[in-house]
Structure 1
Amino acid sequence: MSGPSQEVVAPKAPQRIVILGATSAIAEAAARLWAANGARIILAGRNEARLNKIAADLKARGASEAIDWPLDFVTADAGAELGKMVDRLGGLDLLLLAYGISGDQGELERNPAAAAKVIATNFSSAAAWSLAAAAVLEKQRRGTLLVIGSVAGDRGRRSNFIYGATKGGLAHLVEGIAHKLAPLGARAVIIKPGFVETPMTAGMANNGPLWAKPDAIAPIIVRAGEKGGPVVYAPTFWRGIMLIVRNLPAAVFDRLNI
């Protein structure tokens, strides 16, 4: 005799959200979708004027609360600052880490200070904030950490291996956090976009079929906040592309100008 049927409950949309790097084009597009569901959102970043404008827009789109939080992620005490944010919201359903810088590979190789800045921003500070978020989620035994990485972290390439190294290291960190949190009911997801039309990529030729707009990436991020992971490619076709790239023999890979 079969047991009683169980109702399938859809994942609850996050309502208390912190966005680190809220002025990024991808983060702003995702924030608009969360705002439409009435979320309370803290928008953290360095450009206070831009944060004010985004907060006003999100309120107009339905956000219950949109709080601009001016902050330098590299110099801030991640644990202490995140604690203030969590207290302000009364808990944390989701944290999106969306900030980062790229830099020119040649310049980074010639200029150790410039390379150190990319590493400090993309890995060292991002790792500190990810670990701070993980500590909150572990204590709550619920909630989600979303971190925007890059397909550039999947294999070192001559064109951007310093940037790629920071994203690759961050991806391993987030996967480890996901593994630690899984038995507790909390989650962590590394999201790996390919080419996206943002200010960071403004200097690159971006008219091919592999390019996406922030509004196409945002729904993938929102879905990742509710289920899936710990690794999500955005758009999904990058999973297959990077599987090939990672497994190309060195003799073949070294002949590619990528």
Structure 2
Amino acid sequence: MTDTWIILGATSAIARAFIRKQAEAGAAFILCGRDIVDMEATAADATVRGAPEATVMPIDMRDAATFDAVIEAAKCLEGTINCAVFVGSMPDQAEIDADPSLIDGVVTDSFTGPARFLTMLCPVMEAREQGIVVGISSVAGDRGRLNNYVYGAAKAGFTTYLSGLRNRMGRKGVHVMTVKPGPVDTAMTWGMKMPAMTTPEAAVEDILKGVQKKRNVIYTAKIWFPIMTVIKLIPEPIFKKLSF
């Protein structure tokens, strides 16, 4: 039976790298996002690489009405249903400070939108008692930092949601893995000077290894686990004086 991956945020660089690898392994796809032309190109590439099917469906995390068609399509799939969430938005904190209305979009894109979608998809996956959910969170959610605390807060919420979802769906044979990337060389981080930056391809290698070993939480690149362990241990009186 075919494994089908529902990909939220199929136009992201990490998603494209993930789709390429899974297509070569024979997976099918429902690619979800806002840029139909971009996703059609990715779907065509996936088919060439070995995917038996790659369907494109429009979806917008800020418009929950767009979720319904994808959920209905999932109900009609044969075989195992998996879902990988690559959505999120990260305006510069200075932009948010200047226009607090941007907070709503960040939280919807990075937390409440994907959480709502996954909550709707849960019963479909649980009924089959198998499948994998890969949720992309961020190291930014491990502690509120001066330069991106709104984005970090949204990803912290998504991390906690995925933890609860793992508890729920694990009882029905569905594994949920949380991925906490550090900076990845994508359009979101273009032009930023960031430490220990990795590539989409390297991040996907870590993700697939984590899926194979059924990890609950992974960091990519792995160096971010000890980095964030140290950062989380810094006492608050000291931490709030730091400028990063």
The within-5 A match list for 1:197-208 is 197-206=185-194, 208=195
Question: Is the deviation greater in 133-142 or in 147-156?
Answer: 133-142
How many angstroms apart in 1 are the aligned matches of 2:80 and 2:69?
13
CA contact (8 A) 1:154 1:164 kept: yes
Identity of paired residues, percent? Answer: 33
Identify unmatched segments of 5+ residues in structure 2. none
Query: Could you say what the CA RMSD is over the residues aligned between the two structures, in angstroms?
Result: 1.8
Q: Tell me what 2:51 maps to.
A: 63
Listed as ranges, the matches of 1:98-137 within 5 Å are: 98-137=86-125
Residue 238 (structure 2) pairs with residue 238 (structure 1)? no
Residue 209 of structure 2: which of 223, 245, 253 is its match?
Answer: 223
Is 1:36 aligned to 2:28, yes or no? Answer: no
Question: In terms of mean alpha carbon deviation, does 119-128 or 144-153 score higher?
Answer: 119-128
SS at the partner of 2:171? helix
Deviations 1:205-229 (A, max 9, x none): 25x5x11010101122223333323
**For residue 119 of structure 2, what is the amino acid of its counterpart?**
L
Query: CA separation in 2, counterparts of 1:245 and 1:110?
Result: 28
Structure 2 CA distance for aligned equivalents of residues 197 and 23 of structure 1: 14
Over residues 57-90 of structure 1, what are the superposed CA-to-partner deviations in whole Å (9 max), with x where a residue is unaligned?
A: 1111111111111222320337623322313432
Q: How far apart, CA to CA, are the structure 2 residues paired with 1:109 and 1:136?
A: 40
* 2:85 maps to which of 92, 97, 118: 97
- 2:135 is paired with a residue of what secondary structure? strand
Q: Does the 8 A contact of 2:137 with 2:158 survive in 1? A: yes
- 5+ residue gaps, structure 1: 1-11
Aligned-residue offset at 1:92: 4.1
The runs of at least 4 aligned residues of structure 1 exceeding 6 Å deviation read none
TM-score (norm 1): 0.89
- How much has 1:252 moved relative to structure 2? 2.3
Q: How many residues align?
A: 244
